[in-house]
Amino acid sequence: MPGHPSTNVDIAGARGRFDKDAFLKAHARGAVALDADMVCGREHIASAIEHARRAFKRGTNTARSLELEVVLYAAGETQLSVAIDLMDVRGDKVALVVFEGQVDELLQEMELSRDDSVIAPETSKALRLGVPRTMLDTVGENRAQDLVLEKVALVDLEKRAPFIREDNQA
């Protein structure tokens, strides 16, 4: 994968004043910042990373960088502009993904306090990510993270849907 030969990824939740401009200037490559209120557990991010890597390997990526492809999958969206808007850090809670290096160095540099509890799975996060209330009611709120993981996985299918429709119309 261009720019990301290692499989070493560090994930953390954090609190503090997040300076988006400073982050982008210093870490345009090699790190991702997501709104922690939209992250439904460490597994949510790990799944988004795995799907993004697989998309690059298969040549089905939508974004030009792994970082943006991770945002796409984490949001469970196929349109990058929608995904960026959905996952953009808005408050004082952030989920950080560092592909090369240590997340603790980034936390210190950004003057953030590590708090992994901000990325814990919650029903409210699943709802904000577009998981229907009826699905949560059907499977139980304790399965919110599972439904978010399904939403992440469905991005692959949704990406292929236009090709499937074209083939069926021929």
Q: What confidence tens digit (pLDDT) does each residue in 150-163 have?
A: 999 999 888 876 55
Q: Mind listing the pLDDT tens digit for each residue in 63-92?
A: 999 999 999 999 999 999 999 999 999 999
Flag whether 15 is in a domain.
yes
Do residues 39 and 46 lie in contact, with contact meaning Cβ atoms separated by under 8 Å?
no
Question: What CATH number has the domain bearing residue 67?
Answer: 3.30.2380.10
Q: Which domain holds residue 127?
A: 10-169
pLDDT over 70 for what percent of the chain? 90
Flag whether 2 is in a domain.
no
From the number of C-beta atoms within 10 Å of its C-beta (0-12, 13-18, 19+), residue 99 rates as buried
H-run or E-run covering 140:
none
pTM of the model: 0.87
Q: What is the mean pLDDT of the chain?
A: 88
Flag whether 5 is in a domain.
no
3-class SS of residue 4: coil
Q: How many domains does the chain have?
A: 1
